[in-house]
């Protein structure tokens, strides 16, 4: 990241982060005088309370609480007696360091994007074990969160903006393979709704599933046509699940063949929304559940969960019972939740961006290796299932210095870093447009256009594309673009007004815009001006 100018430092902008919390004792998140730059923390895991107003769980710590805790620390006392919040993992702290960590001087090499922004933090509680078991997911030490808690975090920031009346960019540094990758999940629809508000946006990254072989797709050419999707299941995997998405009015039958060759010709798919049926093959129990999702012209989802799945090669057999469109897509769980040998053997590398980055009104980035401008295969690829352009842009992602736990400095890479850079860029645009009043009507489409216009494109490539979006984002190009807009406005202010008369009309020329004024109106206007001018001359 090379930012030649620091005139946009995030001052006046709030960055909301939904993740694992923040190390609020780190001086990088303080002002020079030692006071905090964190407006508030909502820790969903702390039960003591009080929760934020209109919420029922967790504890909210406000700026005055955090400052009191910092004063306790300065006196050698326990700050956690006042603000009982910790980032035990470090993910949120590292993200905050990239976006707005303060440089501490004296040879400190950390450079963040907007070091004078302020933060508001939501620490998510982990998903309940019984909810995970219903989906056949074993936690195994993984940090897994529920979409309802994420939605609550976004609502928290939306409420905050209504109070402080300042621009807020929310970074959602999480992802999932659930959903049809077309913006139809409840979380994504809520993100689209809140982004209709001026000066409020949610930024995302496309995730790291590009090379995970977790997506398969194809076309059933007509009624009666068949396709087979080979699925490799790792030994000892336990449970395996996949979701199939098709469009109405298509009807697709599913069959399964186990590694022993035992076959279920047709898994009967329930017709009632949310209904499920159970089957058995070898020693594996299979649950099939059907859902209807209305967005996108009528989407059908079939979830298949295989409990106690044998290791080896499974075959998913699809047959078109009635085909109008024919498109089908299947996704496994994200790679972090399954063994690396559990994959589709003929995967589709496109539409591997994670939800909720497919939300229509989100601004989304993929990531690349800035050392040689090369593709990173793990980066999630677009477009959405409906062909919407995601990612919006692509960001640098390799070897960034940022803040670790216990005041340490760490080097981080990956999708979360790219998303943090995008979030910082949006904060810069908000400061320039809203705080400094260069463009106060900052809705999502305009914000997106600023990001797109600051993206570099190679002459031999076609844009937008599934990997790069509209190109490689460049901070200095963004700054140049914003400066040019300001310069153009200043020139417009200095342009003279030229008035000329013709036989029948007056043409008023202002910056190339001609307005015809009838002669009789012009004469009356001219006489009035003459009178006023005479009056001024006395």
Domain count, the chain: 2
| CA dist., res. 117 & res. 171, Å (int) | 14
Query: With 60 as the cut, is the pLDDT of residue 355 above it?
Result: yes
Looking at the fold, whether 80 and 188 belong to one and the same domain comes out as: yes
Looking at the fold, whether 128 and 233 belong to one and the same domain comes out as: no
Assign 294 a pLDDT band (cuts: 50, 70, 90). Answer: low
Looking at the fold, whether 187 and 219 belong to one and the same domain comes out as: no
pLDDT of residue 436: 97
Query: With 60 as the cut, is the pLDDT of residue 315 above it?
Result: yes
Looking at the fold, whether 88 and 23 belong to one and the same domain comes out as: yes
| CA dist., res. 332 & res. 243, Å (int) | 7
| CA dist., res. 368 & res. 366, Å (int) | 7
pLDDT of residue 532: 38
Containing structural domain, residue 305: 215-344
Least confident interval from 244-253, 265-274, 406-415, 456-465? 265-274
Using the 3D structure, point to which of 484, 499, 517 is the last residue of a domain.
Answer: 484
pLDDT (mean) for 248-272:
93
Tell me the three state secondary structure of residue 487: helix
Core vs surface per residue 414-432: b (16+ CB within 10 A) or e:
bbbbbbbbbbbbbbbbbbb
Looking at the fold, whether 70 and 202 belong to one and the same domain comes out as: yes
Looking at the fold, whether 190 and 221 belong to one and the same domain comes out as: no
Looking at the fold, whether 148 and 80 belong to one and the same domain comes out as: yes
Looking at the fold, whether 115 and 241 belong to one and the same domain comes out as: no
| CA dist., res. 86 & res. 82, Å (int) | 12
Pair 237, 230: CB distance under 8 Å: no
| CA dist., res. 180 & res. 383, Å (int) | 12
How many CB atoms lie under 10 A from the CB of residue 6?
11
Using the 3D structure, point to which of 344, 371, 403 is the last residue of a domain.
Answer: 344
Looking at the fold, whether 179 and 70 belong to one and the same domain comes out as: yes
Give domain status of residue 534, yes or no. Answer: no
pLDDT of residue 514: 43
Pair 340, 211: CB distance under 8 Å: no
Least confident interval from 11-25, 263-277, 337-351? 263-277
Using the 3D structure, point to which of 301, 324, 344 is the last residue of a domain.
Answer: 344
Find where tokens 């209709």 sit: 196
pLDDT of residue 491: 85
Q: Which residue has the higher pLDDT, 130 or 446?
A: 446
Looking at the fold, whether 328 and 466 belong to one and the same domain comes out as: no
Looking at the fold, whether 130 and 189 belong to one and the same domain comes out as: yes
How many CB atoms lie under 10 A from the CB of residue 110?
17
We report the CATH number of the domain holding residue 195 as 3.40.50.200
Tell me the two tokens of residue 5. 């100018």
Pair 390, 378: CB distance under 8 Å: no
pLDDT (mean) for 490-516:
54
In percent, the amount of the chain with pLDDT more than 90 equals: 83
Assign 215 a pLDDT band (cuts: 50, 70, 90). Answer: very high
Average pLDDT, the chain: 91
pLDDT of residue 134: 82
Give domain status of residue 511, yes or no. Answer: no
pLDDT digits (tens, 9 = 90+) for 172-192: 999 999 999 999 999 999 999
pLDDT digits (tens, 9 = 90+) for 86-102: 999 999 999 999 999 99
């Amino acid at each position: 990241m090379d930012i030649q100018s620091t005139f946009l430092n995030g001052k006046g902008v709030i960055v909301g982060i939904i993740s694992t919390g923040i190390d609020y004792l780190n001086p990088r998140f303080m002002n020079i005088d030692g006071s905090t730059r964190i407006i508030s923390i909502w820790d969903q895991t702390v039960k003591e309370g009080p929760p934020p107003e209109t919420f029922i769980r967790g504890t909210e710590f406000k700026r005055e609480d955090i400052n009191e805790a910092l004063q306790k620390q300065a006196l050698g006392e326990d700050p956690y007696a006042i603000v009982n919040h910790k980032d035990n993992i470090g993910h949120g702290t590292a993200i905050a360091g990239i976006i707005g960590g303060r440089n501490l001087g004296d040879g400190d090499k950390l450079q963040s994007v907007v070091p004078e922004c302020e933060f508001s933090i939501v620490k998510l509680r982990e998903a309940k074990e019984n909810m995970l078991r219903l989906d056949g997911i074993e936690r195994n030490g993984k940090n897994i969160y529920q979409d309802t808690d994420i939605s609550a975090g976004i609502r928290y920031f939306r409420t905050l903006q209504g109070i402080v009346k300042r621009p807020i960019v929310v970074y959602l540094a999480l992802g999932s393979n659930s959903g049809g990758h077309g913006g139809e999940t409840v979380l994504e629809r809520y993100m689209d709704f809140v982004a209709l508000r001026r000066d409020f946006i949610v930024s995302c990254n496309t995730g790291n599933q590009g090379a995970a072989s977790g997506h398969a797709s194809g076309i059933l050419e007509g009624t009666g046509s068949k396709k087979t999707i080979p699925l490799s299941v790792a030994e000892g995997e336990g449970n395996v699940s996949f979701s199939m998405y098709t469009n109405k009015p298509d009807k697709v039958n599913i069959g399964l063949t186990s590694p022993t060759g035992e076959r279920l010709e047709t898994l009967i798919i329930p017709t009632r929304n949310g209904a499920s049926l159970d089957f058995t093959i070898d020693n594996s129990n299979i649950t099939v559940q059907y859902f209807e999702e209305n967005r996108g012209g009528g989407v059908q989802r079939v979830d298949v969960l295989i409990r106690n799945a044998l290791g080896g090669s499974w075959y998913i057999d699809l047959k078109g019972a009635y085909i109008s469109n024919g498109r089908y897509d299947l996704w496994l769980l994200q790679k972090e939740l399954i063994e690396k040998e559990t994959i589709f053997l003929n995967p589709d590398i496109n539409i591997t961006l994670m939800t909720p980055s497919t939300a229509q009104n989100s601004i989304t980035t993929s990531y690349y290796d800035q050392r040689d401008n090369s593709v990173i295969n793990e980066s999630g690829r677009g477009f959405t299932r409906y062909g919407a352009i995601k990612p919006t842009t692509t960001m640098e992602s390799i070897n960034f210095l940022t803040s670790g736990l216990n005041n340490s400095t760490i080097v981080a890479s990956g999708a979360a870093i790219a998303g943090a850079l995008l979030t910082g860029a949006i904060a810069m645009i908000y400061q320039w447009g809203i705080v400094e009043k260069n463009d106060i009507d900052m809705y999502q489409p305009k914000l997106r256009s600023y990001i797109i216009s600051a993206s570099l494109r190679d002459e031999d490539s076609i844009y937008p594309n599934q990997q790069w979006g509209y190109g490689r984002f460049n901070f200095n190009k963004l700054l140049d673009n914003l400066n040019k807009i300001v310069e153009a406005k200043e020139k417009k202010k200095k342009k003279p007004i030229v008035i000329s008369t013709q036989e029948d009309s007056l043409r008023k020329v202002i910056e190339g815009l001609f307005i015809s004024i009838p002669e009789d109106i012009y004469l009356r206007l001219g006489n009035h001006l003459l009178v006023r001018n005479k009056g001024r001359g006395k």
